Amino acid sequence: MSICDSISVEESSGITFLQVDNAFATSRISLFGAHVLSFVPKSDNVDRLWLSPHAFLNGERPIRGGIPICWPWFADNHGREKGELPAHGFLRTQTWQIQSSEDTEAGTRIVLTPNFSRGEGFEYDCQVSYEILVGEQLSVTLKTENTGIVPFTFNAALHSYFAVESIGKTEITGIEGEYKDKLEDWAIKPTPSPYVFSGETDRIHQHAAPDVTIDVENTALTRVTSMGHDSIVVWNPWQGAASIADMDAFGYRHMLCIETSVTNGVTIEPDHAHSITQIVTPL
């Protein structure tokens, strides 16, 4: 298959990387996990995504940072004992294939597919594709199509790590209602206002916010637009980062996860499909 002009291909430590460079932005994508690692708009040359300096980039384990794909379950919500199946599913540890790529007026469009979408813990017939558009915005869409004869239910997330200069000076807007707090045995709490950070955060917001804005030092940096989701997950490990093997002990100061998620389950009938989309817009 031919690759469009804005993409160059690199091989390193057994992983194939796509380097996108067009009139609007640059981006680096790992075919291991269909993992977008960076998005740098040429308008300000500021990477909107955070990648751990200790991330494994050799295929040994999922990549810490960028935009990991969670599918067909979120976290350990797979119906079995914790650890019996891989957290966040089995797409993020596969090598994906390029189905198509093209240079368009809006930017570079890439469509990727996994080697398999049926595995232990999810034994249904379906087809998964991932469309990436690198332009003035970064748009990623995960599409799941039911190709079988029975309906199935799944969860998913675009587990994006956003770069911030200082988490202590970061505020997000756009989320309302209540959230489930993982750190307090899933207690239901109201969304804080202002939404700032002073400690470990692990929340599933039940409000499917269409737009969340990241402000750093009262300056709008990034807007995160979501579609096809039922919740927004917000996560920062704070000092718990010291116990994460592929994360610097102080890395939490410069990242914030805002995840376009399906955590309450979506059911797809035969011959139907469902997509979740996240659009990252520099402000």
Cα angle 117-119-122, degrees, rounded to a multiple of 5: 90
Q: Is 32 part of any domain?
A: yes
Written as one letter, the residue type at 215 is: D
Residue 191 lies in a domain: no
pLDDT per position as a tens digit, 114-165 = 999 999 999 999 999 999 999 999 999 999 999 999 999 999 999 999 999 9
Report yes or no on 60 lying in a domain: yes
The answer to whether residue 25 sits within a structural domain is yes
Residue 15 to residue 9: CA distance in whole angstroms: 10
Task: Output the pTM of the full model.
Answer: 0.97
145-148 contacts, C-beta under 8 A, 24 or more apart: 145/268, 145/272, 145/273, 146/268, 146/269, 146/270, 146/271, 146/272, 146/273, 147/270, 147/271, 148/124, 148/270
Which residue's structure tokens are 């599918």?
71
In a domain, 13, yes or no: yes
Minimal CA–CA distance to 73: which of 119, 129, 131? 119
The answer, yes or no, to whether residue 1 has pLDDT greater than 80, is no
In a domain, 212, yes or no: no
- Which one from 35, 78, 205, 259 is the annotated catalytic residue? 259
Decide if 239 is inside a domain. no
Determine which one of 159, 254, 269, 274 is catalytic. 159
Full domain range(s) for residue 88 = 7-165+244-282
Taking every pair of C-alpha atoms in the chain, what is the biggest distance, in angstroms? 52
Q: Is 259 a catalytic residue?
A: yes
Kindly list the strands in the beta sheet with 35-41, ordered across the sheet, starting from the edge strand earlier in the chain: 7-12, 15-21, 25-30, 35-41
Q: List pLDDT tens digits, range 206-243.
A: 989 999 999 999 899 999 999 999 999 999 999 999 99
CA 25 to chain centre: 19
**What pLDDT is stored for residue 155 in this prediction?**
97
How many independent structural domains does the chain possess? Answer: 1
Q: What is the CATH number of the domain that holds 134?
A: 2.70.98.10
172 domain-assigned? no
> Known catalytic residue: 159?
yes
76 vs 147 pLDDT, higher one: 147
